Structure 1
Amino acid sequence: MENLRTFLNATIVCGTLLFSQFGIAQKINQKTTSVIINGTSSLHDWEMNGSSATFSGTVNGNAISNATFTIPVKNITSKKGKMMDNKAHAALKADKFPTISFSAPSITVGKGNLNGKMTIAGVSKNVTFPVTVVKNSNTYTINGTETLKLSDFGMERPGFMGVKTGDVVTVKVNIVAE
């Protein structure tokens, strides 16, 4: 009888520990990040890239909660040279607001619309944009593309010698996290 009681107690303890592991949320961080910003001007189309971003969130089931994404403004650069970079960084108010950030309460695995708060140049807006989240073992790949207006974030369109950028930019983000 004592052996049966010991066995049952051991089974309950092991089962509790095993099942509690399934319910524990897992913290994930970026493995790689890529940001591509495409825009226009009266002279030519342009592109800027950033890869020094951070992403973190907590996985529980098929959702990532408390997701945050941040990129230093001065890590966003172009292939057109320092002049374009400096104009873009000035428009983004990099000296006063050195990062662009996005946070979302939850991201679901699969295709869907992501709701969250975007902060650019010190202005925060609630935004919604389409994303695709693919889970492969312990790795999550997040892809999203959205069109934003610079003026919505209080930014002036950068320009030089009468050539100004358009007000609309397309932002593509790719995050691989585990």
Structure 2
Amino acid sequence: MRRFLDALYWVCGALAGLMLIAICVVMMLMSVGREFGINLKGGDEISGWLCAAMCFLGLAHTFKHGDLIRVTLLVDRFEGGRRRAMELVALFTGGAFLALFAWFLSKMVYDSWRFNEFAQGVIAIPIWIPQSALAVGVVLLLVAFIDEFVRVLMGNKPCYMRDPPKTADEIIERAAESGV
């Protein structure tokens, strides 16, 4: 199961990266096309949908690798068992909010499909298609939160928690890994 989940997070991160490349391609086509009098109809809409898909599909991968911004103002004040308890409370609370978000977002996608709702713009496609990436991304982030909750509950250190860098080279290496 561990290998499957790690592969799933990696695939989502790779898809988010592909969405970023697709955004770049669409934007370049629009920019170059303008110079030659060619209009890429719906390019702005496509870029917006790709941007949303990129952000949401990349959430689980980013969270598991410790690159998602976390506010640890309270959790960092504790050590040992109390810190573990605070991590569990934070993961449970975040997971509960994500469960609600995933439920309502999935319901929105289902309703868009059920009512045969189309995008309001130049490109008239069923809106559930671009919305699906958002729902999938939030559901996978919820899975990642549950995965971390179980990990911490079993007494392991969370994947997202890293020891502070000790050298300048380690800072540079971490920045290179995260793509900053």
- Same fold, TM exceeding 0.5? no
**Comparing both chains, which one has the higher relative contact order based on Cα–Cα distances under 8 Å and sequence gaps of 6 or more?**
2
| Larger strand proportion of the pair | 1
TM-score (norm 2): 0.21
TM-score (norm 1): 0.21
| Larger helix proportion of the pair | 2
Q: Highest CA radius of gyration, 1 or 2? A: 1
